[in-house]
C-alpha cells in the first residue's frame, strides 16, 4: 500500500508541528499525528462538535498498527512528551495504563471523574478479552459514544454518566488478524477505532536526535490549543463546509459499502471525519470547521480504511476482495463516477493526493471555472484517450473466461460396489455320542 504525504491529511498549525519533527524520526509521521490527535481529544472533555441537529464528543480511539520495532512506541512516546509538556497534570493523573476488564475499566474511569486517556501497548489482549467478556466490548463502544457505563455487581455498583475517554492502543498486523472475530466486527467494536499504519521510512544516525527546543515549542502550541479548546462549547461547520460535508458523507459511505470486508470497519467513518476536522480547527484556535479541515480529515480516514483493507486482504478467508488501485486508476474512476468532470473537493479527498500530484498524471486535464462567484474552481477531466481506453471502474475489462466442453461422467463410477452377502454358516459336524459302557453292560465297569 502506497504511503501518501501526511501533509495532505492535516491542516494549519498541527501540520507545521508534525512537519518540524518529521525529519528527526525514522518512522512514518502518521503515527505521530495520530498520537497527538488522540492526546488532544482526551484533554477536551466538555467540547463537542456539530453533527446534524445535535452534537457528539471529540474523543478518539486510535490504534497504531505496525510490526515489532516499526515505531509504534516511539511515535506515541514523542506525542506523549509533547502532551506532558503542554499539560503535565492531566498526563500524570488521568492516564490509565492497560485495560483490566469491563468492571475494572469502569472503576478506573470513575476514579478519574469520568475523564481519562487509556494507553494499552498490547491492545491485542483487549480484543481477545472482548471475545470472552461481552461487557468489555460494550463498555469500549459506550466510551466512544460518550454513553453511560455502569457495573452490574450488586454490592457497591459504579456508574459513570457522560464519560470522556480517549484510547491509544498498539497492535501488530498479525495480532490484529488473529484477534478478529465476526461477532466483534458485526457488533461495532472495530468501526470506532481509527487504525493508522506505522512503518520505518528512513535510517538515521544515533547522532541525529530530536532537538529539545522542538519539544518545548510543540508543547507551547499544544497548550494554547488545549486552553482554546476547553473554552469552546460546540465546534460548528462554516458556511462553505456544508456542501463538502454532504459530499463526503455520501461518498465515504459508498466506499465503505463496496467491500464486505471493509464495511464493518468503516460504517462510522463520517463521525471520525467530523471529530478529526474539529480537532484541526481547534488546534488552529478556531471555532468553525472549514472545507480544508474536512478534506484533510477525509484523507486521513480514507488512509485508515485502506490500511484495514490491506490487513484483512491477507487473511485469505474471503474471496473476491478489491485489488488496490493506483493513483491514476483512482482518479479515472472518480472522474468517471462524477459524470466526466470533478471539482477539487469532489476528487482530491477521495484519492488521497494533492492537486499537483493529480495534475502530473497523464490523461488528466485541469481547468479553471470562472463562471461562479468568488475564487475560480479547478475542474478535472480526462483527455480523449483516457475516456476511450479506461473502463468505468478504472480497471481494464477482464477477458471472458474460455469455455471448456462438459465431460460426461457415469455416476456408477462413484457408486460403491454392491456388497456380497456372506456365505451361510454350516454347522460343524458333531461326533456321534457313544453309549457309556456302564450303561450297556453294568458288569463291564467291574472288570
Do 222 and 83 form a contact (C-beta atoms < 8 A)?
Answer: yes
pLDDT at 345: 82
pLDDT tens-place string over residues 309-343 = 888 776 544 334 445 678 888 888 888 877 788 88
Give residue 408's pLDDT band: very low, low, confident or very high (50, 70, 90).
very low
Model confidence pLDDT, tens digit, residues 270-294? 899 999 999 999 999 999 999 999 9
- The dihedral region occupied by 441, where left means phi > 0, alpha psi between -120 and 50, and beta the remainder, is beta
CATH class as words, domain 6-312: alpha beta
pLDDT in tens, 246-269: 988 888 877 777 766 666 677 788
In angstroms, the Cα distances linking 18 to 12, 23, 67, 177, 409 are: 10, 9, 22, 30, 68
CB 308, CB 319: distance < 8 Å:
no
Rounded to an integer, what distance in angstroms lies between the CA atom of residue 107 and that of residue 160? 9
pLDDT of residue 324: 62
Q: Residue 141: pLDDT band by 50, 70, 90 thresholds?
A: very high
Report the greatest alpha carbon distance in the chain: 146
Domain ranges of the chain: 6-312, 327-389
Secondary structure (DSSP) of 11-23:
-HHHHHHHHHHGG
Q: Is the dihedral of CA 21, 23, 27, 29 positive or negative?
A: positive
Phi and psi torsions of 38, nearest 5°: -65, -45
What are the pLDDT digits (tens) for 3-12?
Answer: 678 999 999 9
Q: According to the model, what pLDDT value does residue 254 have?
A: 79
Torsion (CA) 202, 206, 212, 217 in degrees, nearest 10: 0
Instruction: Quote helix, strand, coil % in the chain, to nearest 5.
Output: 50, 15, 40
**Considering only CA atoms, which of 111, 268, 99 is closest in space to residue 193?**
268
Which pLDDT band holds residue 351 (cuts at 50, 70, 90)?
A: confident
Amino acid at each position: 500500500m502506497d504511503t501518501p504525504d501526511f501533509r495532505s491529511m492535516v491542516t494549519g498549525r498541527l501540520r507545521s508541528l508534525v512537519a518540524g519533527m518529521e525529519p528527526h524520526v525514522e518512522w512514518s509521521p502518521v503515527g505521530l499525528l495520530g498520537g497527538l490527535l488522540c492526546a488532544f481529544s482526551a484533554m477536551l472533555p466538555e467540547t463537542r462538535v456539530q453533527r446534524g441537529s445535535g452534537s457528539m464528543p471529540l474523543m478518539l480511539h486510535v490504534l497504531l498498527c505496525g510490526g515489532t520495532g516499526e515505531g509504534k512506541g516511539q511515535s506515541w512516546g514523542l506525542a506523549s512528551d509533547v502532551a506532558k509538556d503542554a499539560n503535565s497534570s492531566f498526563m500524570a493523573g488521568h492516564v490509565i495504563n492497560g485495560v483490566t476488564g469491563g468492571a475494572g475499566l469502569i472503576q478506573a474511569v470513575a476514579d478519574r471523574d469520568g475523564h481519562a486517556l487509556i494507553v494499552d501497548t498490547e491492545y491485542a489482549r483487549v480484543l481477545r478479552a472482548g471475545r470472552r467478556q461481552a461487557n468489555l466490548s460494550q463498555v469500549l463502544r459506550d466510551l466512544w459514544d460518550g454513553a453511560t457505563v455502569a457495573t452490574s455487581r450488586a454490592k457497591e455498583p459504579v456508574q459513570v454518566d457522560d464519560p470522556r475517554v480517549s484510547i491509544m492502543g498498539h497492535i501488530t498486523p498479525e495480532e490484529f488478524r488473529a484477534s478478529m472475530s465476526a461477532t466483534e466486527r458485526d457488533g461495532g467494536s472495530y468501526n470506532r477505532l481509527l487504525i493508522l499504519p506505522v512503518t520505518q521510512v528512513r535510517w538515521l544516525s544515533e547522532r541525529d536526535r530530536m532537538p529539545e527546543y522542538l519539544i518545548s515549542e510543540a508543547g507551547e502550541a499544544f497548550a494554547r490549543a488545549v486552553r482554546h479548546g476547553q473554552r469552546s462549547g460546540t465546534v460548528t461547520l462554516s458556511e462553505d463546509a456544508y456542501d463538502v460535508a454532504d459530499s463526503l458523507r455520501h461518498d465515504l459511505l459508498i466506499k465503505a459499502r463496496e467491500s464486505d470486508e471493509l464495511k464493518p470497519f468503516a460504517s462510522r467513518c463520517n463521525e471520525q471525519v467530523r471529530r478529526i476536522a474539529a480537532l484541526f480547527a481547534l488546534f488552529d484556535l478556531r471555532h468553525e470547521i472549514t472545507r480544508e479541515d474536512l478534506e484533510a480529515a477525509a484523507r486521513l480516514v480514507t488512509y485508515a480504511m485502506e490500511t484495514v483493507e490491506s490487513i484483512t486482504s491477507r487473511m485469505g478467508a474471503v474471496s473476491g476482495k478489491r485489488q488496490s488501485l493506483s493513483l491514476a486508476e483512482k482518479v479515472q474512476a472518480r472522474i468517471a463516477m462524477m459524470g466526466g468532470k470533478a471539482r477539487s473537493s469532489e476528487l482530491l479527498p477521495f484519492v488521497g493526493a494533492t492537486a499537483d500530484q493529480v495534475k502530473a498524471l497523464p490523461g488528466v486535464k485541469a481547468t479553471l471555472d470562472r463562471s461562479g462567484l468568488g475564487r475560480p474552481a479547478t475542474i478535472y477531466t480526462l483527455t480523449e484517450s483516457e475516456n476511450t481506453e479506461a473502463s468505468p471502474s478504472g480497471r481494464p475489462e477482464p477477458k471472458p473466461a474460455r469455455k471448456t466442453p462438459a465431460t460426461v461422467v457415469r455416476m456408477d463410477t462413484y457408486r460403491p460396489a454392491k456388497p456380497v452377502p456372506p456365505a451361510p454358516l454350516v454347522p460343524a459336524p458333531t461326533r456321534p455320542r457313544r453309549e457309556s459302557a456302564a450303561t450297556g453292560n453294568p458288569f463291564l465297569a467291574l472288570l
